[in-house]
Amino acid sequence: MNIRPLHDRIVVKRIEEEESKVGGLFIPDSAKEKPQQGEVVAIGNGKRNDEGKLIPLDVKPGDRILFGKYSGSDIRLDGQEYLIMREDEVLGVLDNVANKAKA
């Protein structure tokens, strides 16, 4: 993928949740909600404050994040679906428990 988001925008790939069954019945894809978790693929340089100073982003490529149901804009690149959103639409960064155990 060759995209570099501008300013405080980030490119996110949705993380699909596992196949779910309710009472032994499979839920079709059309009835499922889109996942609200994703992996940051690319980030912009940051946002400028009132004095013109560049403020770097808190997220980095590879971070797993949570975002709102209606956040971002859907785009399609190289046959893959991505979201472009502003960093302030990110609700939180998920910590990887396996990485914490190693530290």
What are phi and psi for residue 20, nearest 5 degrees?
Answer: -115, 145
pLDDT band (50, 70, 90) for residue 78: confident
Indicate the average pLDDT of the chain: 82
| Length, in residues, of the chain | 103
Question: What's the pLDDT tens digit per position in 24-38?
Answer: 666 665 555 666 899
Q: Are 8 and 46 in contact (CB under 8 A)?
A: yes
Give the fold, CATH level 3, of 9-92: 10 Kd Chaperonin, Protein Cpn10; Chain O (2.30.33)
**Confidence category of residue 63, pLDDT binned at 50, 70, 90:** very high
42 vs 49: CA distance, rounded Å: 22
> 87 near 58, Cβ under 8 Å?
yes
Secondary structure letter of residue 68 according to DSSP:
-
Q: What is the pLDDT of residue 97?
A: 53
Instruction: Give the predicted TM-score (pTM) of the model.
Output: 0.74
Q: Rounded to whole angstroms, how far apart are CA atoms 13 and 22?
A: 26
Domain boundaries of the chain, sorted by first residue: 9-92
